[in-house]
Amino acid sequence: MIRINKYLQEAGVCSRRGADELIRDGRVMIGGRVAQLGEKICVPDPGLHVCVDGKEVVWQEKQRILLAVYKPVGIVCTEDPREKDNIIDFLQYPERITYAGRLDKRSEGLILMTNDGDLIEQMMRGRNAHEKEYEVTVDRDIRDEDLEKMSQGVPIEIEVKGMVMTRPCQIKRRGDRSFNIILTQGLNRQIRKMCAHCGYDVVSLKRVRVMNILLKDLKPGAFRPVTDEEIQELMALMNA
């Protein structure tokens, strides 16, 4: 049994969120009747007929795709085709995949892309405290006391939520104006706002690790399949 939104996602129709919108609009039919949000269906079932806008959707169980992608500066983490620099069109992968976690337009580095909605959901749960590591360069020499302050947590403004105290994190100086930071949360523009709180502007921001997956020697715009060994370790970390 799987939910109808997952069925449509795995059939390559759209994302789960997009599927929910189709269902709300009454555009999805199951056996001749209008589908309901959250409804579960049995697969595989040769007698099952699911249609979107009158066109039958055939479900096939897909092999998991998980890619490590180097997102360049200027590419936007969105599926919206109205954004000419969206990451889906940029990557031009032959099968439908989407991103697990975002990097803002001015940032670069590692982003994971997959066709596994369950994997995305599990990775994106903030309470799971999954590690993400970044290389940061700021506009002037950074003081040790400011690195210590950020490592202990600082208040930043987040839309809708208001002022939020960031979680304690690991920071290691790399140079006079650069450092590595390991976060266990993913607040919008978090590192930039943490630096701004201490009076610095971020010049460059590159993500080099998501949990056990490393950027390694990928070049901007390139990608590689995540290995079976990496996937096994990733799943173990998520289930720990």
Out of 85, 89, 104, 201, which one is annotated catalytic? 104
Token reading at 148: 């210590």
Q: If you compute the radius of gyration of the chain from its CA atoms, what whole number of angstroms results?
A: 20
If you write DSSP's letter for every residue of 165-209 in order, what string do you get?
Answer: EPPP-EEEEEETTEEEEEES---TTHHHHHHHHTT--EEEEEEEE
Q: Could you tell me what percentage of the chain is helix, strand and coil, using 3-state DSSP and rounding each to the nearest 5?
A: 25, 30, 45
Instruction: Determine whether 104 is an active site residue.
Output: yes
144-152 vs 190-197: helix axis angle to the nearest 10?
130
Q: How many CB atoms lie within 10 A of CB 9?
A: 25
Alpha-carbon distance 99 to 103, whole Å?
10
**What SS3 class is residue 68?**
strand
Contact between residue 115 and residue 11 where contact means Cβ atoms under 8 Å apart: no
Report the Cα 215 to chain-centroid distance in Å. Answer: 15
Token reading at 48: 């099952």
Alpha-carbon distance 204 to 137, whole Å?
5
Which residues belong to the active site?
A: 104
